[in-house]
A and B are shown apart, each in its own frame.
Chain A
Amino acid sequence: MIITVQKPYDKLLELLAPYKKIFVMGCGDCATICQTGGEQEVREMANRLVESGKVLTGRGTAEVGCDQRLVRLAIRKYEDNFNAADVVLVMSCGSGVQTLTEVSKKMCIPGCDTMFCGTIERIGKFFERCRACGDCILYETGGICPIARCSKELLNGPCGGQDDGKCEVGLWQKDCAWVLIYNRLKEINRLDLLKKFRPPKDYSNLSKYKEQIREGLQ
């Protein structure tokens, strides 16, 4: 799940100031679950903008905001209202904003900030779990990712910044990933995995723009 938060409303008004006619587009997937860009949030945002004196041409939601096929469908559904707008406020992650830009060529304003790739404990409780490093090592860290969950992305054990399993980054509110890993590996009797030296990681996947063109999937 891509976890988003809405940009502050004042900031959105500032970003929308140069434009006259606004369409608000949401996403039926991650942003719906995060309650940052689902149907309800899109409706609330549209109403609020009208109250602020903005001109709305319409509002809608793509079933999945980052799937070009479903975004095209949504544009067709709201056709006249969508085309009448000179700006679209996109209530989704950055991928959704860019998908709509690519498909529609409209000026798109991000209504949300994309925070991380994570898990949902329950609504309102989101936790980062993956950095998309392109070389998954969860099989040797007890299913706990040190790249995503250790603020220093360490690969060989805890640093001096943990106390009683809490991390000094963020004022001792969050768990030290390496103490979690240690506890987990101990529990499953696999401390040998902690003792293994992990050499410098190949970070090239995180250092460049990526595409996946897979033959045979068309």
Chain B
Amino acid sequence: MNKISQLQEALAAKRFIFTGEIEPVKTTDLTEVLETARILKGHVVATNVTDNPTAFAYMNSLVPCYMIQEKVGLETIYQVTTRDRNRLALVADLLAASALGIKNVLALTGDHTTLGDNPKTRAVYDLDSTQLVYMIRQMIDKGVDLEGHPIHNPPKFFIGGAANLGADPIEPEVIKIEKKANLGVDFIQTQVTYDIEAVKNFFKLTSHLKVPIVIGICPLKSLAMAEWMEKNVPGVSVPPEMVERLAKAKETGGKEAMAEENLQIFGEFCREIRNTTPAAGIHVMAVGFEWIVPKIIERASLKAIG
């Protein structure tokens, strides 16, 4: 195996991994991004850096990826969506990413422009996420772009793809993951889930695939957030008993008790994923309250496996 990244090494060694998520916002100031990276460092093997999430025009993910690696020493997973860039721009950014020492790329389509903060823009979608995986593989393995033009000093990336394990119907989703796997995606990160049965079912449906799958979770910062996830994120359902536990904690002990309940719930959930499914790891999305990530990971590891 050619060593590409620490994420790759950890997955190859079958170490149960955690990844984090950092969201640059509409600013020119990197202070918060770097502070968040410092919180995550030592707890996650790498952190995703989002690319205009939910189609909001934020600072691009490339520069924060570079700065986090340089200044904090935490490996990054460069999220690249096809929503805003055609194949020319994608090649350009991927070459730049490689030149800057970025090792992991998550190939995404991206939330639709009409859901974002500049809904009148013209969407690009020159490629879909599956085709982006294909293009990156061509760049790495053959050293060419989509037209076969040679790349001097071709990039090396560890390529990720996304999956929605709660998709209904699930079969076309599984077929799409199969396509990405056949094209040579190196790992999968899933959309958020709160449902261990859905995770188990997803692993049953994808058991024929050799790709390591990292399960996405998202602790609930507030009760309103639980409601928002339920309403707005397709395939995501927050179990009512989870909301009740959090509501009860908030009622009796305020914010602190609710944070503690989050640790209880998601610590348990992580242990359950780790102990009862073939998941390769957990991707913790806690944008806006990243301080909770190391604590969840700590809780998740309290009862060591085996």
Give A residues with C-beta under 8 Å from B. Answer: 151-165, 168-170, 178-179, 182, 191, 194-195, 197-200, 203
Contacts and interface: CB of A to CB of B under 8 A. Distances in A.
Contact of A158 (B83, B112, B131, B172): B172
A200 B115 contact: no
B112 A156 contact: no
A54 B138 CA distance: 64
A163 B234 contact: yes
Nearest to A181: B172
Given A156-B131, A159-B128, A160-B167, 16 more contacts: A151-B112, A153-B125, A153-B128, A155-B130, A156-B128, A156-B129, A161-B111, A161-B112, A163-B168, A163-B234, A165-B169, A169-B114, A169-B115, A197-B183, A199-B134, A200-B126
Contacts of B146: 200
Most B CB contacts (10 A, CB to CB) among A157, A163, A178 go to A157
23 contacts: A152-B109, A153-B125, A156-B128, A157-B175, A157-B176, A157-B179, A158-B172, A158-B173, A159-B109, A159-B128, A160-B167, A160-B191, A163-B235, A168-B234, A169-B115, A170-B114, A182-B172, A182-B175, A194-B175, A195-B179, A197-B183, A198-B131, A203-B126
Contacts of B134: 197, 199-200
A200 B138 CA distance: 12
B131 A200 contact: yes
Contacts of B114: 151, 169-170
A168 B175 CA distance: 21
A162 B178 contact: no
Most A CB contacts (10 A, CB to CB) among B111, B146, B191 go to B111
- Top-8 shortest CB links A-B: A157-B176, A163-B234, A156-B130, A160-B164, A182-B172, A154-B128, A200-B131, A169-B112
A199 B126 CA distance: 11
B43 interface: no
Contact of B130 (A157, A168, A182): A157
Interface residues of B, number: 35
Contact of A152 (B128, B172, B176): B128
A179 B172 contact: yes
Contacts of B128: 152-156, 159
Decide if the interface of chain A is mainly helix, strand, loop or mixed.
loop
B29 interface: no
A154 B180 CA distance: 14
B142 to A, nearest CB: 14
B171 interface: yes
B179 A156 contact: yes
Contacts of A156: 128-131, 176, 179
A201 to B, nearest CB: 8
A87 B167 CA distance: 55
